[in-house]
């Protein structure tokens, strides 16, 4: 019985660490600068980028081709965004703190998507330049 309790506590601690690490990585990526061409393509400005812009940015991300192979999708961020929107819908009226937190987190998701679009475009431009130099 004691071994099962220790195992459960260790498992919960590992899951919590993984979630905190993933959010820290997402936050560090979202703080990178976003070029004006990405913002213009999504019809938003850096000053007004909010969680409401995530859907536009996610669809723009889906339309942006990726020349190199790799699995870099927004599925996990989309799931997190949907979870935040559900939390805002359920608890936002009861607690303004939850609504404010959810708004900040969805804006973080939108910034992350914009940075991922920028990274994809930069990668494509670099590969196109390499192909022209051959």
Judgement on whether residues 5 and 58 belong to the same structural domain of the protein: no
Judgement on whether residues 76 and 16 belong to the same structural domain of the protein: no
Give the model confidence (pLDDT) of 44-65 as tens digits. Answer: 887 788 999 999 999 999 888 7
Confirm if 74 and 13 have CB atoms less than 8 A apart.
Answer: no
Judgement on whether residues 25 and 40 belong to the same structural domain of the protein: no
Judgement on whether residues 114 and 87 belong to the same structural domain of the protein: yes
Judgement on whether residues 100 and 43 belong to the same structural domain of the protein: yes
Question: pTM (2 decimals)?
Answer: 0.86
Containing domain of residue 38, as a range?
33-133
Question: Nearest to residue 84, comparing CAs of 66, 101, 65?
Answer: 101
Domain count, the chain: 2
Enumerate residue ranges in the chain where pLDDT < 70: 68-72
Structure tokens at 108: 């973080």
Judgement on whether residues 45 and 7 belong to the same structural domain of the protein: no
């Amino acid at each position: 019985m004691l071994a099962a309790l220790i195992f459960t506590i260790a498992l919960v601690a590992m899951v919590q660490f993984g979630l905190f690490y993933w959010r820290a990585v997402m936050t560090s990526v979202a703080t990178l600068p976003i070029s004006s061409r990405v913002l213009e393509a999504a019809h938003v400005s850096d000053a007004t980028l909010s969680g409401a812009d995530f859907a536009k940015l996610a669809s723009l991300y889906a339309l942006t081709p990726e020349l190199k192979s790799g699995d870099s999708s927004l599925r996990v961020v989309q799931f997190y965004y949907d979870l935040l929107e559900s939390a805002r819908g359920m608890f936002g009226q009861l607690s303004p703190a939850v609504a404010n937190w959810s708004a900040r987190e969805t804006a973080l998701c939108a910034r992350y998507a914009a940075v991922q679009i920028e990274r994809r475009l930069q990668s494509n431009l670099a590969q196109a330049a390499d192909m022209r130099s051959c």
